[in-house]
Amino acid sequence: MCGRYALDVNADELLAQFDAYNIKVSEPSARFTPSYNVGPTHKAPVYHSNSLCMMIWGLIPYWTKDLSKAQPYKTFNARLESLLTSKMWKLPCEYRRCVVPISGYYEWKRLPSGKKVPYLVRRIDGNVMLLAGMYDEVKKEDGSNVLSYTIVTGPAPDGLNWLHERMPVVLKPNTKEWELWMNDEKHTWNADELYKVLETTFDSKEVYSYRVSTDVGKITNNEKYLVEPLKEGIASFFKGQKREKEKIIDVPQSTVALKREEETIIKKENEITPSVQGSTPMKRDVVSLLMSSPKRKNQGHDNMR
């Protein structure tokens, strides 16, 4: 899946990278600022037909009559396996293919405990990744158009399937696969040809992943620290010390005094009456009271696609 990604460059920086890739952009109409947490229903730049424009993430099919009933949060990914058979995807695959530039995509790894932790997958050289996508256009009554897009996903290859079983399809500029996908005059595909063009790959010399803050799970968060590696170690140590300190402060003073008094009584009794080996000490009522005192509840915290 790919339900969240980052594009941490501005419009001029993206155009510069496109130029370095020899990607022609005749209409750079998209103006935008860096975004560290792009999610479904957000607007982001998309490249098609030599133009770069803003679209809504989550494909809204052309036949949609009432935009208020559109559900783009359900169509942000298109499975490679269903592109030629799905009513939703067949026409966009044949006539409206595009590329989605990203700095990296987020994926959540499920731990044995059941907890999910986010990772960011990105290029080692810091350049943008270019994902295979499709778009559609809805004409409104006032004559304006609503453009929206989806990202194609396929089975994750060795090297990334430990993170998730699927991943977005990444295209490399100036390759045969790129040329076929971006060829606006190509309208027919067979399954074998499509699978070869959209085959998912992984090269550890080009791509890497690392854990990031769980704050990325909240779609309204959009700060630069979201794309930075999660800082652990000494920060976690001091956080643990703080929690221990809070636990001590939370103990009622009356309970502490009572416990000290009980320990003093036991100490004096041991000085008078020696213990007998193998005997079992009696549990005192005060100790039972202490042990049954209520504990404070710990407070705790969260995906898509």
Catalytically active residues, by annotation: 2, 107
**Is residue 39 within 8 Å of residue 57, measured between CB atoms?**
yes
Closest by CA to 106, choosing from 1, 35, 218, 178, is 1
Residue at 200: amino acid letter: T
Tokens of 289: 């009271």
Q: How far from 178 is each of 44, 48, 182, CA to CA, in Å?
A: 21, 12, 6
Tokens of 281: 């000490």
**Is residue 164 within 8 Å of residue 107, measured between CB atoms?**
yes
Residue 197, phi then psi, degrees to nearest 5: -70, -40
